[in-house]
Amino acid sequence: MRTFLTALLFIAIIGSDAQGRSSEVEIGLLTQAKPTKIIITPLRGDYSVVSNDSVIYSLKNHDLLHISLKDQKLELRTLNGLLGTFLNVRLIPQGEDGAFKLKSVIPYGHAKSYDDILNINNGSKCLQVINEVNIDKYVAGVVKSEVGTNEGLELYKVHAIICRTYALSNFRKHEEEDYQLCDKVHCQAFAGSCDQADPVTGLSYAASNDILKAAVQTAGLVLVDTTLELITASFHSNCGGQTCNSEDVWMLSKIYLRSVKDPYCVQRKNARWERKVSQAKWLGYFERVHGYKVSDEQSRERALNFTQTSRAPYFQNNQKIMLKDVRADWRFRSTFFSTSVSGDQVVVQGRGFGHGVGLCQEGAMEMVLRGIGYKDILNFYYTGVALIDIASLRFLLR
């Protein structure tokens, strides 16, 4: 039954292929800003401004188009004056590879560049701005915002596949808003076009170029589990030497999110952390929040000298105090910590940074430096998964 439902899900996603949409995604832009006035400038090539299938204006390279919400309609202006008011407009590149700059004027925002088509609708009280963009360019725009600069082609490939897998399994997240994904962390942070240097993130032209290359060279590749279901490809900064089982962090068991020993990240930047807290505060916390008996000598000793040589899900097994809760309450960098006593202080020595489930980013960086390829990196962190082209998946499910 599950496999059948999975097949249906894929057919539903790939079904859009026949309408020519599988290679494009619709991304809601400026969804938090809720703009009432924007400016658009073509950066590469000229654009046709279209409404109701009629071309109303030809916007030349570096021309400015102002769009404001007036009486529930879009008012369009260029430097030559008013173009008119419309219910919606579509900006389509006249050449094959158009790009434009978009800036929110009310409220004020920084300009960002985007590729391909832009749709603007009346979103009641604000303009609804949707970028209809080639999926590889979208993937590159997400990798650009999620991965550090100058990390190399192989690491960008790892993240391009993770990003594409996530995008395809979350295609219906914004169905009610008439687009597929938003540009915020809620879906995946999308930083726009990735074909130039970015002074804001410090991304060089060469790095941008590598990111785009990684997206194109892995085009169509996604990660699936043994039932051909797209995986939840979670990742974190540094696992401290061992990743977590998904159920120990999210109560959700996934066969491919298993704890693995990771020798690659242990010398990296986020491998270790330390905090000191007073003994009274530490013991008081366990007594108050978890009803832990600190009056009992043996229990008290266990709480002060807690050790993890390999990753444990619980702080204390007999009471099932989950380490993820202790981490959240103390805002620790990870759940992978041990404690010892120094005077009236408890020294908390931790390893890693982040939830610890799935791919360890710093481990993956180290693997790339040691010449390990993206397929082996993905297989190391995601247990028993397969890398498959979404097109061949369609063939298998026919």
**Nearest-angstrom CA–CA distance, 286 and 261:** 29
The distance of closest approach from Cβ of residue 284 to Zn ion in the complex, given in angstroms and rounded to an integer, is 33
Q: Which of 147, 360, 364, 368 binds Zn ion (CB under 5 A)?
A: 360
Helix 374-381 / helix 153-169 crossing angle, nearest 10 deg: 50
Q: How far is the CB of 343 from Zn ion (least distance, A)?
A: 32
Does position 182 interact with Zn ion (CB under 5 A)? The reply is: yes
Q: How far is the CB of 244 from Zn ion (least distance, A)?
A: 11
Q: Report the site for Zn ion in 196-255 (rule: CB under 5 A).
A: 239
Q: Give the position of tokens 């043994």.
A: 226
Residue 9 contacts by C-beta under 8 Å, 6 or more apart in sequence?
A: 229
Structure tokens given for 218: 């892995």
Which tokens in the block code for residue 78?
């260029």
CB of 266 to Zn ion, least distance (A): 7
**Helical ranges in the chain per DSSP H:** 2-14, 135-146, 153-169, 205-217, 247-250, 279-290, 297-304, 323-330, 361-369, 374-381, 390-396
Tokens read off for 166: 């996530």
Closest CB to Zn ion among residues 68, 259:
259
Encoded one letter per residue, x for contact with Zn ion by CB under 5 A and - for no contact, window 130-169 reads: ----------------------------------------
Looking at 44, 77, 101, 186, which residue binds Zn ion (CB under 5 A)? 186
Nearest-approach distance from CB 187 to Zn ion, in angstroms: 3
List all residues 6 or more positions away from 183 whose beta carbon is below 8 Å from its beta carbon.
Answer: 27, 28, 29, 30, 31, 131, 189, 190, 192
Task: Compute how many residues bind Zn ion; rule: CB under 5 A.
Answer: 8
Interacting stretch for Zn ion, rule CB under 5 A, among 7-15, 159-167, 181-189, 212-220?
181-189
User: Could you tell me the smallest distance in angstroms from the CB atom of residue 238 to Zn ion?
Assistant: 5
What is the number of other CB atoms lying within 10 angstroms of the CB of residue 341? 13
Ranges of H-type helices in 331-398: 361-369, 374-381, 390-396
The per-type count for the chain, helices as H runs and strands as E runs, is 11, 22
Q: Does 363 bind Zn ion (CB under 5 A)?
A: yes
Q: Is 262 in the site for Zn ion (CB under 5 A)?
A: yes
Residue (29 or 321) nearer to Zn ion, CB: 29
String of contacts with Zn ion for each residue 18-47, x by CB under 5 A: ------------------------------
For binding to Zn ion (CB under 5 A), which residues are involved?
Answer: 182, 186-187, 239, 262, 265, 360, 363
